[in-house]
Amino acid sequence: MEPILQVENLTKQYTDFKLDHVSFNIPKGTIMGLIGENGAGKSTTINAILDLIQKDDGTVTFWGQELSSNPRQLKENIGVVFDGINFHETLTPAKVGKISAAAYKQWDFDTFNNFMRKFQLPMNKEIKTFSKGMKMKLSIAVALSHYPKLLILDEATSGLDPIMRDDILDIFLEFVQDENHSILMSSHITTDLEKIADYITFIHQGEVLFSKPKDELIYHYGIIRCGTSVFDSIDKSEVLAYRKCDYQWEVLVAEKDTAQRKYKNTVIDNATIDDILLLYVKGEQSDEKFDFKGSV
Amino acid sequence: MKSLILKDLYNISHNAKSMLFMLLVFVIVIIPMYSVEAYIITSGILCSMMVITTFSFDERSDWTKYAMVTPISRKDLVASKFVVLLIFSAFGVVSGLILGFAGGLITKKVVLDLTSIASLLVITVVGMMIAVIFGSISIPLMFKFGAEKARMLSLISFLLPVAVCFVVYQVLVMFGVSFTDSSVFVLLCSSPMIAAIWNFVMYKISYTIFSRKEVLH
């Protein structure tokens, strides 16, 4: 599938942190979840993609074009939602609509008004009276009212209650019903990504650990929970990461079924994205690990 | 650009009542103590300072980061602040002229004749230029240091032109240059040109600062 967004070897060096050759693609009609612990480099990646920070190396192309080559037209097709509303709190949605209409050629007031009705947001109330969820809905309405083809969401669902998050996730799913639309969504709420993402890119300490289809992670990855004797017998070349818990070892493997056949008397659970994230971040990575930096 | 100007005007309109109140207080304070001319210039400078407040609003809402992901260029963003400064300064001197004229009539500081009105109109234009020059120095400071840090530094933007003018005046006097009515008139007539050149230089400095800046907020 043709990628909407292609990130290749994106590198940014700070004194205490390096975004190190980050690469991934987002195919049309899909949702890419960007996961990683706080400070892993998710926001730095998004900032570099959007040219908010100057990258040291690498290329980022939207529909095959670098953002700097045609910024006005490309940005018309990109909707961005950060964590929170970026309009001053004394503004009303009506004024936000007028400001945005002056910024985007593709702005559609009818679409904006429809979203306002759908989200039950008052047009003439100041933003400061809104709850966090209402502010987020307003940001999403603005992002969707200029007909973007790519949505970039940086922690857009953090701080929202589960019901509000569920409503917003439904909107994102509706958005990608159009096969020309895609979403890049960074979040540390991995359950959200389990619900809607097609692909997961895991960034850890500035590096991409993997970029894979979500189903591969959910259905193929497994966690062996075992005692020390079984742990010692496990072929470490099959192990992605492991950690010692109170009374047992947790071992992450990429092929659950293969491991189940091999270690018949052990418990192998499905791995959630949370489990995978935890094991990579808090556990040890196998020295003999095979190349797991698969890419989409 | 239109979007940015609209945003600043909407944001600042929230402070309109308090600004109007301050202008009225200044009518009572400045006109009886000094003159209508001083009031017009003060109004212009006071309103030009609202550009600093717009930076503060932007910073609080992380607006600049957001603006840079919309089809707004860095050039537009910098230029918009100078346009907004022009609008605020014009608003300041025009309201200064109206309120000052009314206050001057009440306090009998102005008389209702053509010469007085013409003189106030000239002062309005000069006041506008002074406000624009003073206000424009604060813009590169805001881009460089951010609203909160630059708020203190912005005092420089009002003291620096005064200091520069004073030094230039002293140097000219030292070299025996005397200021006749005609030379002052030439200076007043050329003030729009001086303000335009000054603002262009400030715009260039601001853009150079902002074009290299990483927009994280």
Q: What's the mean pLDDT in B80-106?
A: 91
The answer to whether the CB of B210 falls within 8 A of the CB of B64 is: no
Residue B30 C-alpha, separation from nearest chain A C-alpha, in angstroms: 32
Give the residue from chain A lying closest to B65, CA to CA.
Answer: A52
**pLDDT score recorded for residue A133:** 83
**pLDDT score recorded for residue B217:** 64
Q: Is the pLDDT of residue B157 over 80?
A: no
User: Which residue of B6, B68, B69 is in closest CB contact with A102?
Assistant: B6
How many CB atoms within 10 Å of residue A10?
23
**pLDDT score recorded for residue A286:** 65
3-state SS, residue A204: strand
Q: Can you name the residues that pair with A154 across neighbouring β-strands?
A: A186
Which residues from B are below 8 Å from A51, CB to CB?
68
Q: Is the dihedral of CA A186, A190, A196, A198 positive or negative?
A: positive
Chain A interface disruption, residue of B1, B2, B7, B15, most A CBs within 10 A: B7
Q: Using alpha carbons, select from B86, B76, B75 the residue that is nearest to residue B3.
A: B76
| Separation CA A294–CA B65 (nearest Å) | 33
Q: Can you name the residues that pair with B95 across neighbouring β-strands?
A: none
The answer to whether the CB of A142 falls within 8 A of the CB of A100 is: yes
Q: Is the pLDDT of residue B161 over 80?
A: no
Q: Is the dihedral of CA A177, A202, A287, A268 positive or negative?
A: negative
Give the residue from chain A lying closest to B5, CA to CA.
Answer: A99
| Separation CA A172–CA A181 (nearest Å) | 10
Residue A164 C-alpha, separation from nearest chain B C-alpha, in angstroms: 22
Return the amino acid letter for B181: D
- B217 or A280: which carries more pLDDT confidence? A280
The residues on A that touch B, with CB distances below 8 Å, are 47, 50-54, 71-73, 75-76, 78, 80, 82, 84-91, 95, 98-105, 152
Q: Looking at B146-180, list the stretches that DSSP marks H as alpha helix, in order from N- to C-terminal side.
A: 147-174
Q: Do B216 and A47 touch (CB under 8 A)?
A: yes
Q: How is residue B133 written in tokens?
A: 């020059």
How many CB atoms within 10 Å of residue A129?
10
Intervals of chain A under pLDDT 50: 288-296
Give the residue from chain A lying closest to B68, CA to CA.
Answer: A52
Q: Do B70 and A75 touch (CB under 8 A)?
A: yes
User: Which residue of B63, B72, B215 is in closest CB contact with A52?
Assistant: B215
**pLDDT score recorded for residue A287:** 58
Asked if the ipTM is above 0.85, the reply is: no
- Cα torsion for B53, B59, B63, B66, to the nearest 10°? 160
Give the residue from chain B lying closest to A128, CA to CA.
Answer: B61
Residues of chain B above pLDDT 90, percent = 31
How does the average pLDDT of chain B come out, rounded? Answer: 86
Q: Is the pLDDT of residue B142 over 50?
A: yes
Beta strands across the sheet bearing A18-27: A18-27, A3-13, A57-62, A65-66
Q: Do B68 and A71 touch (CB under 8 A)?
A: no
How many CB atoms within 10 Å of residue A162?
11
Which residues from B are below 8 Å from A52, CB to CB?
65, 68-69, 214-216
Burial call B35-52: b when 16+ CB within 10 Å, e when fewer = bbbbbbbbbbbbbbbbbb
Which residues from B are below 8 Å from A77, CB to CB?
none
| Separation CA B68–CA B81 (nearest Å) | 15
User: Which residue of A52, A87, A105 is in closest CB contact with B216?
Assistant: A52
The answer to whether the CB of B135 falls within 8 A of the CB of B49 is: yes
| Separation CA B136–CA B157 (nearest Å) | 8
Which domains does chain A carry?
A: 3-216 (3.40.50.300), 221-285 (no CATH)
| Separation CA B110–CA B119 (nearest Å) | 10
Tally of CA atoms within 13 A in the half-sphere of B110 that contains its CB: 26
**pLDDT score recorded for residue B179:** 66
